[in-house]
Every structure is written in structure tokens, then in C-alpha cells.
Amino acid sequence: MYLHGTSVINKAGRLEIGGCDAVELADKFGTPLYVFDEELIRRRCREFMEAFRATGMKFEVAYASKAFCVMAMCRIAEEEGLSLDVVSDGELYTALRAGFPPGRIHFHGNNKTPEEIEMALDAKIGCIVVDNFTELYLLSETAKAKGAVMNVLFRVTPGVEAHTHEFISTGQTDTKFGFDIGNGSAFRSVREAMELPNVRILGVHSHIGSQIFEVDGFRLAAERVAEFAQTVRQELGITFPVINLGGGFGIRYVEEDRPLPLAQYVQAITEAIRTLFARYEYPLPEIWIEPGRSIVGDAGTTLYTIGSSKTIPGVRKYVSVDGGMTDNPRPALYDAKYEAMLANRALEPVEETVSIAGKCCETGDMLIWDLELPKTQPGDTLAVSCTGAYNYSMASNYNRLRRPAVVFVKDGAADLVVRRETFEDVAGKDLLPERLRKQPVANS
Ligand code: LLP
């Protein structure tokens, strides 16, 4: 397994993250356990911030909180000077509860409810990324009723398909998201918004996909967006002060993944915008981006305890862990690949090839196929790396499993940032209507 961030193998031959022995973490907090390397999260934030600062341009890096949204993470994003992208009332609530400055919050989503729009207006967040006409008018009416003015970006689909997994590609024309540039609806959205005094037009937003390893897609999106901005300026007399090019910067899950250094994505994007807008003699806009996965993905490691196994002679050996698709649905959903190691016997030589199964009642609940490990035994601690993005945030209670705890480690200290769910968390919301309640047994 590749050792990310502060991960090392310590003198005891065990995996250590943030100066904390992984086996001790598993003992203390139980498994499955999400462990986050705080230093690495901060390093990733700084890579983006410093790369932008070096350009001398105006910018905002908004952490896409959908990747991993808990209060402790909101605080880190804030401390590192990032803004925050939220996509629901729950994420907004989390951010506000953590005290995140509302003016640095951007609200996304293709079906914001009237309640969400009210909540965003009441909290006076920085901007709403408007996705469609229904929302534009709902926002305008709600803002008017409150005597408020909201900054807006228009989410546009530039018709660029990023080279990534088909299911998570959102930049092409045939998508539920945004206003299409090609068919004129993006232009119409700006024209109509100009008539609405309670929305203030900041600019446009484009997100072309996820887990992208090349800069070409971003360059092409920048080109389309710049061309669109120029058309709007010429025909409507509006100059956008902000261009947001979304997230999608790839990370290394397994050996075959070859991500670029984060600074390289920033350089490509800023250079493209600078050149294109200069060509149109357009005032240089602020550039915003929204990385999610690349901020938290490789900082996360999930610890499991190995339990039972099953050997099918001539076929394979299944080794089961105490979690699975409930804490990591990505292999089942996207055929995502992960690396792993035995955290308690990290230096022992490879002796067997096994496939790691989850504990859910579902054949598809597999975490890793054909993983080389020392001879495994029940009670071993399995560490799966790169589980920081879209694992906790997409975790479920399938089979009524309790969602794991989340721990931040740094300089030898481990802090619980989300406690493990209890049975009460799982079943305590259930209600029994009167007619289904057990009648007390009458004494006779
Ligand atoms: N901005 C917008 C508008 C987005 O839709 C997304 C991700 C991001 C930013 C952040 O993208 P990132 O930098 O994290 O790639 N559940 C899937 C990923 C879905 C991504 C959805 N949008 C997964 O587990 O791979």
C-alpha cells in the first residue's frame, strides 16, 4: 500500500498515521474507523492556495464539502482560508453550526427547495449557484419578499466531457445539471436575471467531472466559458467578475492513477483564463474552484478488523471485515479500486492473495479483489487507504449497521470528530403506531 501524507511504518512494524499507531487507534476507538491525517488535509489546502497566490490573480478555493462534511472539516477549511461549497440544507447547517463565515459559503444543487433558499438567504451566504429557471425565479421571489439581494453564479454546461468514469461525469450536454451554453439557455438565464433586482449576477460556473487526470478538459471548459462571457458582454453589456471552474482534480487511489500535482491544475486553469480573457480584452475575472476529493481523499484511511474467511479451492479466498459497502459504497457503485495493508503486521512478507468482502448481506459487497497480504488471521487490522472522500459522506445504515466513528490524527494526538453511531441512533427514530404496539400481557 502506498503511504500517503504522514503515514509511516513504525518500529513495531505497524502502520502509523499522524504519529498515532493504527492498531492502538483501532483498539481505542473500535472498528471500522475512519482516520484522517489532518496534516495532509492542510497540506492539500495549502497546495491550492499557494498555487493561486503565486499567480497574483484574485481567487477563491471553495472546499466541496459533499466529499466529507463534518464540523471539524469545516473548521479546517476555514482556518486554511478556503471557502465552502454546500449542496443541501444539511451541509449548510453543518457549516453554520461550525461557525463557518456565511459570506464564504456557496450553495449548489439542481433542486434547491424553497426552505433551502430561505435558509441560504437568512444566513446571508456568499452566493447561490443557480442551476435552472425554476430556481432563478424562486430565488428572486423569495429574496424580494425578504428585501434581500443574493449574489448568483449560473451553472452552465459547456459541453465538455471529462475523461473519467461515465457515472460521475457532469459536464456534457445531456445532464440534469445547469444551463446549456450550446442551446442558448445559459444566455437566456443571464438575460432574464438582468430583469430581477434581487439577484446580483457574479458570473458563471462550470464543473466538468470528477477524478480527472489531465488539464485539457479544464482548458476546453475555460475556452467555452470565456467565449460565453464575451458573448454576454457584447450582447447584454454585462461583465462577469467571477468565473468558477468547479472541482474534479484526480487523486491516487492505486498505482495506475497518475494525478498531476495540484499546482499544475491551478496553473493550467489560471493561464487559460488569463490568455483567453486578454484575447477578448475582457477585465480579468476572479477565478474560483471547488476541489473536494483532492482535499480529503488521500488523507483518509479506514481501519477494519478481519473476521471470517472462506477458501474456495482453485478459485479464491474471501476474507471478511467488519464494515463494507455501508462505510465505502464506492467499489459497488463505481467499481472503484483501493489499496490496503495489514496495519498490525505491516512489514511481513506477502503470503496470500485474498479478496476483501464486507459484512453486508449482498454479493456485491466487496471492497477489494485480489489483494496481496501476509497470511491473515481473525483479529488483524486491515487499513484501506484513500477513503477520505465520498466514503463517510455516502455511508449508509444498510443492514442497520452503525456508521463508524471519525478520528482526526495529528502530531501523535487523536481526536474523535464524529462519534460512532449507537443502536439508539439506528433504531431510536422508529415509531410504533398504537395498533402495532405490543399489548401488555394481562395478569390472570
Ligand atoms: N463542484 C461541483 C459542482 C460538483 O458537482 C462536484 C462533485 C465538485 C465540485 C467536487 O468534485 P471533486 O473535486 O470532489 O471531484 N460520489 C462520487 C463523486 C461525485 C462528485 C459529484 N460532484 C465519488 O464517490 O466518486
Instruction: Express each pLDDT in 124-146 by its tens digit.
Output: 999 999 999 999 999 999 999 99
Decide if 113 contacts 139 (C-beta within 8 A): no
What percent of the chain has pLDDT above 90? 93
Any atom of ligand 1 within 6 Å of the Cβ of 107:
no
CATH of span 38-296: 3.20.20.10
User: What is the 60 CA–ligand 1 centroid distance (Å)?
Assistant: 17
Q: Is there an atom of ligand 1 within 6 Å of 259 CB?
A: no
- Please state the rounded mean pLDDT for residues 176-205: 96
* 43: pLDDT strictly greater than 50: yes
CA 330–ligand 1 middle distance (angstroms):
13
Q: What is the pLDDT of residues 266-303, one digit of tens each?
A: 999 999 999 999 999 999 999 999 999 999 999 999 99
Here the cell at position 408 is 482526526
Q: In a mutational test of the pocket of ligand 1, which residue from 156, 210, 251 has the highest number of ligand atoms less than 8 Å from its CB?
A: 210
pLDDT at 168: 46
Atom of ligand 1 nearest to the CA of 293: 14
Q: Is the pLDDT of residue 32 over 80?
A: yes
Q: Is 112 in the pocket of ligand 1 (CB under 6 A)?
A: no
**170-181 mean pLDDT:** 81
Q: pLDDT at residue 444 above 70?
A: no
Q: Is the beta carbon of 291 within 6 A of some atom in ligand 1?
A: yes
Nearest CA, atom 5, ligand 1: 207
Among 93-97, 157-161, 298-302, 364-368, the range scoring the smallest mean pLDDT is 157-161
Q: Which of 279, 170, 261, 158 lies closest to 219 in space, CA to CA?
A: 158
Report the pLDDT averaged over residues 188-209. Answer: 97
pLDDT of residue 439: 85
Q: Domain map of the chain by residue range?
A: 8-37+298-422, 38-296
pLDDT tens across 303-338, in order? 999 999 999 999 999 999 999 999 999 999 999 999
Cis peptide before 32 (omega within 30 of 0): yes
168 pocket-lining for ligand 1 (C-beta < 6 Å): yes
Record the cell numbers describing residue 399, joined without a space. Answer: 443492514
Determine the distance separating the centroid of ligand 1 and the alpha carbon of 249, expressed in angstroms: 9
The tens digit of pLDDT for each residue in 372-406 reads 999 999 999 999 999 999 999 999 999 999 999 99
Q: Which residue has the cell 472503484?
A: 336
**3-class SS at 376?**
coil
Write the single-letter amino acid at 57: M
Asked if the model's pLDDT at residue 83 lies above 70, the reply is yes
298 pocket-lining for ligand 1 (C-beta < 6 Å): no
Residue 89 clears pLDDT 90, i.e. is over it: yes
Distance in angstroms (rounded) separating the CA atoms of residues 183 and 394: 34
Query: What SS3 class is residue 299?
Result: helix
Percent of the chain scored above 70 by pLDDT?
98
The per-residue pLDDT for 165 is: 42
Q: Is the pLDDT of residue 214 over 80?
A: yes
Q: Is the CB of 330 under 6 A from ligand 1?
A: yes
Instruction: Given CATH 2.40.37.10, say whether it is the number of domain 8-37+298-422.
Output: yes
Instruction: Return the pLDDT at 441.
Output: 77
Name the band, by pLDDT with cuts 50, 70 and 90, for residue 164.
Answer: low
User: Which are the contacts of 151, defined by CB distance < 8 A and separation ≥ 6?
Assistant: 126, 127, 128, 199, 200, 202
Report the pLDDT value the prediction gives residue 170, as an integer from 0 to 100: 54
Tell me, yes or no, if 361 is annotated catalytic: yes
Strands (E), 138-249: 150-157, 179-180, 199-205, 242-244
pLDDT of residue 442: 74
* Nearest CA residue ID for atom 16, ligand 1: 390
Q: How far is 292 from 388, CA to CA, in rounded Å?
A: 10
User: For position 159, what pLDDT does the model report?
Assistant: 86
Report which of 395, 421, 367, 388 is spatially closest to residue 18, judged by C-alpha positions: 388
* 210 CA from centroid of ligand 1 (Å): 6
**Mean pLDDT, residues 16-45:** 98
In the predicted model, what is the mean pLDDT of the chain? Answer: 96
Distance of CA 171 from the midpoint of ligand 1 (Å) = 11
Q: What confidence tens digit (pLDDT) does each residue in 46-74 have?
A: 999 999 999 999 999 999 999 999 999 99
Confidence category of residue 172, pLDDT binned at 50, 70, 90: low
What is the atom index within ligand 1 of the atom nearest the CA of 393?
16
Please name the helix (run of DSSP H) or strand (run of DSSP E) that holds residue 274, with its range, or none: helix 262-279
Atom of ligand 1 nearest to the CA of 333: 24
Is the minimum distance from the CB of 292 to ligand 1 under 6 angstroms? Answer: yes
Of 45, 69, 74, 361, the catalytic one is 361
Closest by CA position to 319, among listed 250, 277, 261, 367: 367
Q: Is the CB of 210 under 6 A from ligand 1?
A: yes
Please, which pLDDT band fits residue 163 given cuts at 50, 70 and 90?
low
Strands of 15-17's sheet in order across: 8-9, 15-17, 20-21
From ligand 1's centre to the CA of 385, what distance in Å? 19
